[in-house]
Structures are given as C-alpha cells and as structure tokens.
C-alpha cells in the first residue's frame, strides 16, 4: 500500500499543471481598533467622539496561489496576520482590498466544534455540524458511520455533547470536519486535538486525504510539523509575504529570522545586565561580576582569578539544586546512596561549546574529587539557552563529614565562563564509624592457613 501511495505522490509532483484552486491576489485587511466602543444607538449618537477608531493594517498585499492537492503552510510570529489570512480564505471575514477565488468545497478546522449544541446528542450534532459545511441530509447519512467510527466515541455518540470531555468534543468535531468530502481543508493549530494517539491518527488521515488530492492550508507554530507535511510555504511578516515557495526554503528563511531575533534579544538583555552590573559594583553590592558584563569584548586576560567566583559570564550558573536518593531537595546525603546536583544555567552569549565541571572540596580546602564533562567524555550539547545539567552520583562514597561543592562552566578553550569555587556546603552522614575522606568499597575476608605441624 505504501508503495502505491508513494507512486501516487510522485505522480502529483510531476504534474505542475494541475488547476489552481485557491487564488488570492493583493489581499489587504485592516481592523478598526476602537478606543472605547459604544454598541448601542444611544452611545453612538451621544458619545460619537468615543467611536473614533484607529485603523490597523494586518495584511498589506499578500498573494497566494495554490494548486489542487498541494499542502501549504503559513508561517509567521504571533500577530503577523497569518490567522487573519486563513479567516479570509475561509470567508469568515472579507478583505478590504484584493480578490480571493476558491474553487471547491471548503472545510475548516479553525474553531473546532463551534456549531455544537450542548444539549443535543453527538449524533444530532453531527447532522447540524455537517449541515453548516453545506451537506444535505442524504450526504450526511452516507457519511455518518465513518464519522462515528473515526471519532472513537462508540456508545457515547447518543449522549448529549455537554457530557463529553474536551478530548471527546474535539475528536467529534475533527471527525465531522474531515469527513465532509471537502476539496479544500483549512487548518489552524491542529496540534490541540485530543491525546497523542488521536493526533497521530489525525495526521495519518490528513496525509491520506492529501494523497487523495485534497488541498490543505495549515497555520501552525510548530515549524517541524509544517516542514514535514507541506510542499509549499509562505512566511508572513508584518502583513506582507517575506518568503514563499518550496517549504524547505521558506522554513530555512523563517528559522534564520527567528535565530537573528533571538540573538538580538539576547544582546539587548546582555546590555541591560551589563548596565545593572556596573551599577551594582558602584554601589558595592556585587559578589560576582562576569567580566563580559563590564566589557563586551572581554577575553581570558580580563578574568580575575582571585575571587571566589569569576569568569567571562557568557554562560552562568543560576542555581544548584541538590537531591538525595529519594529525589528530595537537601544538603545532607546518606553515605552509600545515590544523589544528584542539578546545575541550572543560562546562556547569555552563544558559544561553540560550554563544559560543566564540579569538585567536592574538604573543609581544609583539599580537593577530594573533581572532574568535568570533557574529561568524562560526556556530551556537552545544550538544547536551549536556559536549562540544567545534572551531576549524578551513583554512590555517594565520601566519608561522613562536611564538604564544599564547587561548580564551573568553561568554554571549548577552557576559558572560565562562571567558576564558582565555594558554591555551597553539604554533609554526608552514615551510621558507620569509618574515618578519613572517602569510603573505599570493600569487604573483609578471613582465611586460616593450615598449621605447619613440624
């Protein structure tokens, strides 16, 4: 079956002359933003000044042309106008300028279940909801079993919809929307449907519909979904089309833009913190001032190794949480049990690599044990700019006593980013009365030798 479908898919790709089913040209849309809106005639007459509004252009000349069987993803940051564009395509709203022509029956997954009546049963709601998509009773009768089967509602189908859980509600709504034999499907944030299993099922169904020649337009924040599902993309930025065409290219453009945005935000935050740090030094409050906060171009030579905490500060330790073998937050550990140290970090400036290190120091400043990720040949890839790296102790075998926990972040050239010599103290307890600094894994054996009777 998969072979056959792959074949069908390839055929579609080789036939670019399929007919255009959605054609939107020069779409402009503005909203009226009222300062203080009066709805009644009285208010409109008496307080006519209040009815002043500002016009805000959400879309400023977007074009879209979709051929039959294509899946198009709309990308963009919040408020860029992509949802508005979808609402225009679905004809819920009309554009102020521009022309939209749509060839075929449209089904929307925009507001699932918006037409449901809570007191009616699931079955009755299928009829009213499908009627909203423009189906006749005969057509609905023919699809009823498919809809009920897909929704997995079983016997619940005859209960009033108000008794449904939100997942059941969504499943029913989704089932109706995709079973109305639409030619074009418009989807806004589909990821909200039911549990993971049902979502998977939805995607399978969508892929099948796509293979069967349905045209699909999707709005989603999930770039990965769009990239894997769509053939074409359009990235809308500030009401205009910033990039369009092959989905791979559009996603790449959009990702580049997002990266730049994030870096700009980080740089701005850095600048603010630098100002703040300078202020704190001036006031004599700072205990640790990363060198990079004082000078953006600070290098290794600017690091002052004399302090308890020092470093460039491109990545910093924000917190350390210690947990005992039961996962409880504590600074007292049982000897011989596992425990862990979660090092919370924040990246202020992206670097090639950041390596986390640690040391247990005895109260007389003797390093009992120290290591770092590089020495342990442990992976150092950090998934996000904030997070935590955990040092898992399989067996706390320090001897009972008080210790200092030392923690550090260095970069790939071993330049200290945040080196915290004396982060905190912890205690190891045991009901065993051994002495020293570590517990040696051991046991005793006794063997007697045969007496050499001479």
Residue ranges that bind another protein, judged by CB under 8 A: 31-32, 39-42, 44, 87, 90-94, 106, 108, 110-111, 114-115, 117, 120, 127-128, 130-132, 134-137, 140
By beta-carbon proximity to another protein, the closer residue of 77 and 100 is 100
Q: How far is the CB of 91 from another protein (least distance, A)?
A: 5
Of 192 and 267, CB closest to another protein? 192
* Residue closer to another protein (CB basis): 137 or 221: 137
How would you classify residue 88: left for phi > 0, otherwise alpha for psi between -120 and 50, otherwise beta? alpha
Please identify, using beta-carbon distances, which residue of 129 and 220 lies nearer to another protein.
129
Sheet holding 240-246, edge to edge: 106-109, 184-188, 215-219, 71-75, 232-237, 240-246
The whole-angstrom distance between residue 451's C-alpha and the CA centroid of its chain comes to 75
Minimum gap (Å) between residue 218 Cβ and another protein? 17
Shortest CB 153 distance to another protein, Å: 20
DSSP class of residue 409? E
Q: How far is the CB of 139 from another protein (least distance, A)?
A: 8
Nearer to another protein, 183 or 342 (CB): 183
- Cα angle vertex 325, ends 320, 330, to 5°? 40
Coil, strand or helix at 225: helix
The SS3 of residue 240 is strand
Q: In the bound complex, what is the minimum distance in angstroms from residue 131's beta carbon to another protein?
A: 4
The whole-angstrom separation of Cα 360 and Cα 204 is 52
Do 403 and 395 form a contact (C-beta atoms < 8 A)? no
CA 422-424-427 angle, to 5 degrees, is: 120
Please identify, using beta-carbon distances, which residue of 139 and 152 lies nearer to another protein: 139
179: helix, strand or coil: coil
State in angstroms the smallest separation of the CB of 233 from another protein. Answer: 24
What secondary structure, in 3-state letters, does 314-369 show?
CEEEEEEEEECCCCCECCEEECCCCEEEEEEEEECCCCCCEEEEEEEEECCCCEEE
Q: How many residues does the chain have?
A: 454
CB of 120 to another protein, least distance (A): 8
Q: Which is nearer to another protein, 89 or 359 (CB)?
A: 89
């Amino acid at each position: 079956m998969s072979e056959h479908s792959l074949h069908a898919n390839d055929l579609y790709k080789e036939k670019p002359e399929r007919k255009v089913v959605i054609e939107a040209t020069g779409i402009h849309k503005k909203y009226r933003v009222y300062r203080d809106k009066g709805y009644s005639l009285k208010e409109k007459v008496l307080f006519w000044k209040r009815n002043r509004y500002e016009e805000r252009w959400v879309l400023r000349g977007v074009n879209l042309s979709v051929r039959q069987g294509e899946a198009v993803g709309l990308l963009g940051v919040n408020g860029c106008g992509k949802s508005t564009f979808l609402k225009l395509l679905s004809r819920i709203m009309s554009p102020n300028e521009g022309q939209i022509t749509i060839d075929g029956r449209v089904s929307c997954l925009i507001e699932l279940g918006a037409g449901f009546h809570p007191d009616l049963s699931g079955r009755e709601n299928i009829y009213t909801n499908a009627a909203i998509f423009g189906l006749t009773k005969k057509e609905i009768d023919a699809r009823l079993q498919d809809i009920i089967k897909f929704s997995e509602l079983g016997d619940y189908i005859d209960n009033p919809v108000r008794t449904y859980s939100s997942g059941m509600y969504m499943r029913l709504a989704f089932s109706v929307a995709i079973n109305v034999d639409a030619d074009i499907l418009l989807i806004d944030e589909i990821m909200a449907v039911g549990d993971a299993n049902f979502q998977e099922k939805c995607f399978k169904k969508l892929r099948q519909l796509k293979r069967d020649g349905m045209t699909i337009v999707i709005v989603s924040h999930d770039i990965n979904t769009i990239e894997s599902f769509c053939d074409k993309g359009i990235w809308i930025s500030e009401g205009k089309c910033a990039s369009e065409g092959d989905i791979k290219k559009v996603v790449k453009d959009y990702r580049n833009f997002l990266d730049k945005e994030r870096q700009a935000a980080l740089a701005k935050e850095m600048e603010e913190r630098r100002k703040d740090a300078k202020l704190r030094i001036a006031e004599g409050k700072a205990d640790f001032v990363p060198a990079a906060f004082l000078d953006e171009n600070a290098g290794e030579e600017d690091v002052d190794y004399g302090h308890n905490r020092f470093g460039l500060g491109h990545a910093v330790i924000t917190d350390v949480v210690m947990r005992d073998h039961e996962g409880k937050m504590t600074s007292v550990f049982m000897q011989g049990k596992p425990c862990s140290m979660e090092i919370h970090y924040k990246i202020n400036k992206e670097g090639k690599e950041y390596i986390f290190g640690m040391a247990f120091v005895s109260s007389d400043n003797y390093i009992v044990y120290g290591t770092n990720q590089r020495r342990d040949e442990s992976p150092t890839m950090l998934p996000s700019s904030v997070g935590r790296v955990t040092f898992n102790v399989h067996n706390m075998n320090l001897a009972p006593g008080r210790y200092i926990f030392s923690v550090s972040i260095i970069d790939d050239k071993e330049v200290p980013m945040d080196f915290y010599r004396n982060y905190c103290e912890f205690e190891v307890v045991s009901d065993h009365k051994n002495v020293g600094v570590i517990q040696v894994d051991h046991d005793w054996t006794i063997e007697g030798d045969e007496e050499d009777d001479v």
